[in-house]
Chains A and B, each alone.
Chain A
């Protein structure tokens, strides 16, 4: 019982680490406040689910989920990163509602609000699946650490700090912004695929803003522009949120109370510690 709980908890934490640190690439490092980041997680989840339900082997589905998601990410970024100021955030927030509407209405592909049940697992045994996600997570994190130290990562941060200066120095800021979104959505898609093969079910509620707010809290708590910060943010908040299970007696209230306490934490961080735990820049 206890080990089962621990294994599934760790798997969630590992998948959250991938999604939060990929979010950090666009939000923290490049300064692109992509409020629709979880849409790409959902697209990855749906892609992988639909492909494996149609008999495709999981490794193809996993890679294709990443590639397809980043393709959509790149296409959306190519249109939207030109928008000035608030408008980028507005459009990416809009993606959430477009994704919900499409996944509810494209019945022949997504079965609408009923969702897609019975998604085949990648590895049947939960413990081995945890090890598998851990392996994927390590590869992703190694890439993120390399990327953020590389020249590309430096250009991302230059764009965040001063886009005009970066373009004066001859950097094609438009290209790098699209690249940043493409990379971060690729890993969002991978995380979505890992997630959906673990819970074996997907429905339009995967796009809900509630889920996004949790990811955002973890990111901001860990700190922007720090991959290590994201890992710490996810682990500490996941433990906090699980611990609430023992505080709240009424089982119906656990969900809302968890959400609300995470949101309170986010507000407090925004006001009193905008850098989070290890962040390099203020929110």
Chain B
């Protein structure tokens, strides 16, 4: 098939993958922006969200809306627990970026071992996945869940912007991100805002975990693979910028999926990492041109 006729399909696939990456990336970027560390354990939240959804939907037979709400609540609890047990004590002892980074990677790998211990290492399929409808328009094929992913992702991006730009909470977050000391002087309690930040990113993480579970099935390492892409998106868009993470996610999704026309599909990871490396070397501020961090 010539490239022209398959291009729309590759574009749609890229848009779907890109929305997933962007969803994972914006939770990561939000925490990086406000709390200032590389929040890899967003991948753990994502895995937990997906597996809890599986537990309620498949094993306990709950209604899917109820299962989704419960798994988002548990994702939030998981994020708050990691903050409470690990990140806050580390911040309290004034740890630099490295311990926080190491801790977040460890929590990420921990979640995959935990899911392996609890649910086994085999791939799980969500019950809802059977009810997927396929739509065909000429050369183009897209499933119901893929449409849902794109629409939901854009609704969530819009809500996130609304919170960041139009609410008091968003204002406090931006103030903390700009200058923590000054924010504290005007009466913003950083720990409280950090908790809200973790909650918002956990909602994003839980929802994207469920969507990814519906689209690609569940396996213990899913969080690791997705958050790495989210993280690459975040670097390419501009580390520490929420709009950057979304732009970067969509960009990486499109480039990977159009790139596999030229390369074997398993080289997707190499494509995105090479692009990240090029960005780090020649444009470290990312697509949207975020100022580079100079505090370590």
Contact = CB atoms under 8 A, between A and B. Distances in A.
Nearest to B240: A86
A267 B98 contact: no
Chain A binding site: helix, strand, loop or mixed by DSSP?
A: helix
A267 B103 contact: yes
Nearest to A84: B292
B113 A271 contact: no
B275 to A, nearest CB: 11
A253 B281 CA distance: 43
A259 B89 contact: no
Contacts of B114: 256, 260
B296 A283 contact: no
Contact of B97 (A86, A94, A270): A86
B117 A253 contact: yes
Interface residues of B, number: 45
B213 to A, nearest CB: 20
Given A33-B98, A87-B280, A90-B280, A257 B117 contact: yes
A101 interface: yes
A210 B113 CA distance: 9
A102 interface: yes
Nearest to B292: A84
A100 B267 CA distance: 10
Contact of B113 (A79, A102, A260, A266): A260
Contacts of B103: 267, 270
B38 interface: yes
A91 B280 contact: yes
- If over half of B's interface residues share one DSSP class (helix, strand or loop), that class is named, otherwise mixed; here it is helix
Contact of A213 (B105, B284, B293): B105
B264 A283 contact: no
B38 to A, nearest CB: 7
Interface in B89-136: 89-90, 93, 95, 97-99, 101-103, 105-107, 109-110, 112-114, 116-117, 120
A166 interface: no
A209 B267 contact: no
Nearest to B86: A267
Contacts of A267: 86, 103, 106-107
A264 B98 CA distance: 17
Interface residues of A, number: 41
Contacts of A213: 105-106, 109
A274 B266 CA distance: 39
B270 A102 contact: yes
Interface string B212-251: 0000000000001000100110010001000000000000
Given A85-B97, A86-B97, A256-B116, A271 B90 contact: yes
Given A209-B105, A267-B103, A274-B93, A86 B113 contact: no
Contacts of A35: 105
A263 interface: yes
A104 B101 CA distance: 27
B277 interface: yes
The 5 closest A-B pairs by CB, nearest first: A256-B117, A256-B113, A101-B269, A259-B113, A271-B89
9 contacts: A35-B105, A84-B292, A85-B296, A90-B276, A210-B112, A220-B102, A253-B117, A264-B110, A283-B102
